Each structure stands twice: as C-alpha cells, then as structure tokens.
Amino acid sequence: MTQVTKQASQSLFAEHAYLPDGWRRQVLLQWDAQGVLTSVTPDTAAPADVAKAAGPVVPGMPNLHSHAFQRAMAGLTEYRANATDNFWSWRDLMYRFAARITPEGLAAIAQWLYIEMLKAGYTSVCEFHYVHHMPDGSRYGNAAELAQRVVDAAQASGIGMTMLPVLYQFGGFGARAPREDQRRFINTPDSLLEMLNTLRGARPESSALRYGVAPHSLRAVSQQSLRTLLEGLDADLPGAPVHIHIAEQTAEVDACLETEGARPVQWLLDRFHVDGRWCLVHATHVNAEETLALARSGAIAGLCLTTEANLGDGIFPAQEYLDAQGRFGIGSDSHIGVDWRAELRLLEYGQRLVRRQRNVLASTDATHVADRLFDAALDGGARATGRAVNGLRPGQRADWLVLDADHSSIAEHASDAWLSGVVFCEHGETPIRDVYTGGTKVVSERKHRDEERAYAQYRVALAGLLK
Ligand code: NGQ
Ligand code: ZN
C-alpha cells in the first residue's frame, strides 16, 4: 500500500506538456526519490492511479542572477536625488542599505523573495552573494553565516540554488583600495575559498544545491587574484560555475580601456579560458567583435532586462548575438520585478523600440519570439546554474509549471500561441497556477505553502530596515 502511494506521488500526467521538441499531448512524467526525472513519455494513455496536471505543463525557468538583499529596497530609489541620478548614485544608496542588513533580516528577505520567485515560475536561482561580513568588516563567528542563511532560505522555500560566494577585493580598476562602504564585501581569494569550504561542509551539494564562485567584476579583482580564485575552485570543485559582472556601464568600459588597455569582455576572453562554465552578467556594452567572440566562447550572457532598464545601463545587441548562436539566460538581479515573462518581453521590446520593427528576436526556424526566447533562456539559464535543470527530459530535475488554460491571456488559443500569451500578455493575475520543484508541488493554485508566514516575517524585517 505504501509503495502504491509512493509510486503515485512520483508521476504526473499532463494532457499538454512543452517538451524539448515542442508541445506534446498526453505526457507521463515520472521521477525518482531525489526529485530527478526518470522518464518523459508523450502519446501515452493516462494510467488509472496517476494524478493529472490541472493545465498545460512547461519547464520551470532558472533565474541566473540574484542579489537577495536588494529585494527589500525595490521601489525605494525611484526619486531624483541630484541632477545626474545614475547607476553610481543608485549604488551609493544600495550600499547604505547593504550596511543595515542583519543575518535575521537577510534570512527573512531571502525567504520571501524565493517564494515570490517560485510563484512567478522561477524554479532555480543563482545567488551572487557578496554581503559577507559585519558592518565594520569583521567576520561573523561563522564566516559563512550570511551565505548559509541564504542557502537555508532557498532550501526552506523549495527553490533550487547555485550559491556563488563573491570575491570582492578592490574598490576599482588598478587594484584601488576598497571604499569604507564596501567593507562588508571584502575578501582575498583564500578567505573566499575558505568560506566556500565551510559552507560546503555545513550545507552539502545535492540535486537542489550547487556551488560556484563569482568574481564580482573586473573592477573588484585583479588578473592575479582571479587566477588564484579559479585555481582554488578547480582544486575543490572542478568545472563549477563562474559568474562575473562584466560590462554594465560605459564608465567601467572606459576605465578598463584606460587602465588595462582593453574593453572588459575582450580583456577577459584574451586572458582566461572562457567557456560554458562562465556566465557574463550584464554583457551590455560589447562591440561587434566582442559580440561574436562571446557567442563563440559558449559562455552564457546573463541578461537582467528589468534591472538594466531600471538602472539605465543600456541595450545589449541581442539580435546580432542570437544570430551568432550566442547563449543567454535571464536574471531578476535587483528584483525591481520578479517575473521571467517580463524579462523576456523587455528583451524583445528593447529591440523593437530601437529598430522600429516587430518580432525581431524570432528566426526563420523559430518564428514565434516567445517560444524562441523561452527555449534559449531555459537552456542558457540551466547551463549557468551548473545543475541539471534543462527542461522536461530524463536526468533533469522534476521542475515545472502548470499553466491555467482558462486564463484570459491563453484561453481558446491553439497551443502554438500559449507561450506568446504567457510572455507578451499582461492581463491580471499570473497564468502560472502550480509550481513543482524536485517533483514536489510547492505552489498550488498560485499560493506557496509558506507564503503567509514568510510575508509576515519579511514585513517585520523590512520595517526594521526602514526605521
Ligand atoms: C551589485 N548591481 O553588485 O549589486 C551591482 C552594483 C557594482 C548591479 N550591477 C554594484 N546591477 O556593480 O559595483
Ligand atoms: Zn548583479
């Protein structure tokens, strides 16, 4: 009897599911006790004892870039503080906010954020975690305290995580000393690797958790320290993911040219073996040569469209990059919004507004923009996580979303228009109804099992931060 129940809870039947080769009918999904898909069978009759998905099933989307604590300042910097408000003045405000984060506060913010992510259909997150120390820069008793809180929040929420402790060593190009308000972030390659080791001991890797590192940016590391970091990482975790902020602002491109004699993307490609383990976040400012070289490298461009719009970064040459078979994924970064649908929409809309055309990021093989962008962001995002979360196929984690087929953005449409409706339409509540991670339903009828408690705790943390 127990066995029957267990069996039943590890299968789901979907009338429609979006598989690697597109929409298929009558799909049976089966997974093991680790939450990993063991079989995906289309065109099969529904077994009598198997639960049925309440609507069309699509793979969960990875969120390849997050700074969890910044969720708590979303909406609080949208006023003009001086005549030239820009990314750098926003960063000053963000640092003031970062200085106030406590371990308990971070835990509550991350917990709520990850629930918001799940409800929005993000089933994995890469956390680019850099607030490591106490406000005066001294270590917590457990040097990995804050990172561990974030990992715990992910595990409690059910979202899959790639934890990327950040190496922040310098205050600017030319190994400039860090600013006072960067003290909480500062490490050497050795102290960062040590923190990573502690963390791995306390919270071991699993199908839901993977580790990597994130050199913050070329501004914040040197060529030598980046090399030391990568060597140390490969000694412990060969091939683990490496994420870096690369070329978000023209001022940093200019500073890189001035001190290093090359543009950031070119500089990195010329000096390091950049391949598919790399995620170059905000590859915004790339010239034509860099665009092609980045595409050829196999690295993932980490695009965070709503944050890049919010911070006034610029527009990535997405059409040229996709034409060159470049890989990308999307991230919610500062969490001004937490919605992959909005990221994909804005990716296309940036191109439409600049070019005064429509359906720019479609191709002759993939005529539906939403489908093409969804497929690419799933593939690139999954690669960036370093985890097996690349769609509905055996060996990948049992992560998916159940759409509401009665939602006004897709009702009565043929299946080939469903992703278009999901990505481009904005009509009322989300069309994402249920969310599964590792085969467990963590969002049911748009509600996360823990959302009320987590939201109450988030508000307490936020009130404390804003006092
Ligand atoms: C960050 N955020 O690390 O949170 C950065 C700002 C910096 C974005 N780049 C700080 N969106 O780049 O120095
Ligand atoms: Zn970032």
Domain ranges of the chain: 11-59+391-452, 61-385
Separation of alpha carbons 452 and 458, rounded Å: 10
pLDDT for res 2: 40
Number of neighbouring beta carbons within 10 Å of residue 119: 19
Quick check: helix, strand or coil at residue 60?
Answer: coil
pLDDT for res 229: 98
Ligand 1 atom nearest to 220, measured from its CA = 13
Separation of alpha carbons 328 and 65, rounded Å: 12
Q: Structure pTM? A: 0.97
Per-residue pLDDT tens digits for 129-154: 999 999 999 999 999 999 999 999 99
Q: CATH number for the 11-59+391-452 domain, one of 3.40.50.11440, 2.30.40.10, 3.40.50.2000, 3.30.450.70?
A: 2.30.40.10
Quick check: helix, strand or coil at residue 192?
Answer: helix
The answer to whether 448 is a known catalytic residue is: no
Percent with pLDDT over 70 in the chain: 98
Separation of alpha carbons 316 and 218, rounded Å: 19
Number of neighbouring beta carbons within 10 Å of residue 78: 10
pLDDT for res 5: 43
Phi, psi of 211 (to 5 degrees): -115, 155
Distance 52 CA to ligand 2 centre (A): 39
* Residue position matching structure tokens 């910097």: 77
Cα→Cα distances 293→132, 286, 296, 301, 385, Å = 34, 10, 5, 12, 22
Q: What is the pLDDT along the chain (467 residues), one digit of tens a residue?
A: 344 444 445 999 999 999 999 999 999 999 999 999 999 999 999 999 999 999 999 999 999 999 999 999 999 999 998 888 999 999 999 999 999 999 999 999 999 999 999 999 999 999 999 999 999 999 999 999 999 999 999 999 999 999 999 999 999 999 999 999 999 999 999 999 999 999 999 999 999 999 999 999 999 999 999 999 999 999 999 999 999 999 999 999 999 999 999 999 999 999 999 999 999 999 999 999 999 999 999 999 999 999 999 999 999 999 999 999 999 999 999 999 999 999 999 999 999 999 999 999 999 999 999 999 999 999 999 999 999 999 999 999 999 999 999 999 999 999 999 999 999 999 999 999 999 999 999 999 999 999 999 999 999 999 999 99
Q: By alpha-carbon position, which residue is closest to atom 1 of ligand 1?
A: 67
User: Given 132, 216, 282, 448, which residue is catalytic?
Assistant: 282
Separation of alpha carbons 47 and 12, rounded Å: 10
Per-residue pLDDT tens digits for 85-101: 999 999 999 999 999 99
pLDDT for res 18: 98
Q: By alpha-carbon position, which residue is closest to atom 6 of ligand 1?
A: 91
Cα→Cα distances 221→53, 175, 216, 321, 333, Å = 48, 7, 7, 27, 20
DSSP 387: S
Separation of alpha carbons 180 and 136, rounded Å: 9
Distance 179 CA to ligand 2 centre (A): 18
On average, the pLDDT of the chain sits at 97
Distance 91 CA to ligand 1 centre (A): 7
Ligand 1 atom nearest to 311, measured from its CA = 11
The answer to whether 282 is a known catalytic residue is: yes
**Which residues form ligand 1's pocket by a CB distance below 6 Å?**
67, 91, 217, 245, 248, 307, 311, 333-334
Using a 10 angstrom Cβ sphere, with 0-12 exposed, 13-18 middle and 19 or more buried, the burial of residue 43 is exposed
How many residues does this entry show for the chain? Answer: 467
pLDDT for res 9: 58
Q: What share of the chain is helix, strand, coil (3-state, %, to 5)?
A: 40, 20, 40
Q: By alpha-carbon position, which residue is closest to atom 10 of ligand 1?
A: 91
Strand partners for 128? 164
pLDDT for res 51: 96
Residue among 87, 92, 130, 248 whose CB has most ligand 1 atoms within 8 A, to mutate: 248
User: Given 333, 379, 399, 434, which residue is catalytic?
Assistant: 333
Cα→Cα distances 68→179, 201, 325, Å = 22, 22, 31
Tell me the torsion sign for CA atoms 83, 86, 92, 98.
Answer: positive
* Residue position matching structure tokens 């050795």: 190
Q: By alpha-carbon position, which residue is closest to atom 13 of ligand 1?
A: 91
* Residue position matching structure tokens 């993307």: 265
Cα→Cα distances 1→5, 24, 87, Å = 6, 32, 60
180 contacts: CB under 8 Å, gap ≥ 6: none
Tell me which residue of 292, 263, 265, 297 sits closest to 281, measured CA to CA: 265
Residue among 65, 67, 176 whose CB has most ligand 1 atoms within 8 A, to mutate: 67
Separation of alpha carbons 207 and 161, rounded Å: 9
Ligand 1 atom nearest to 333, measured from its CA = 11
- Under CATH, domain 61-385 is a member of which superfamily? Metal-dependent hydrolases (3.20.20.140)
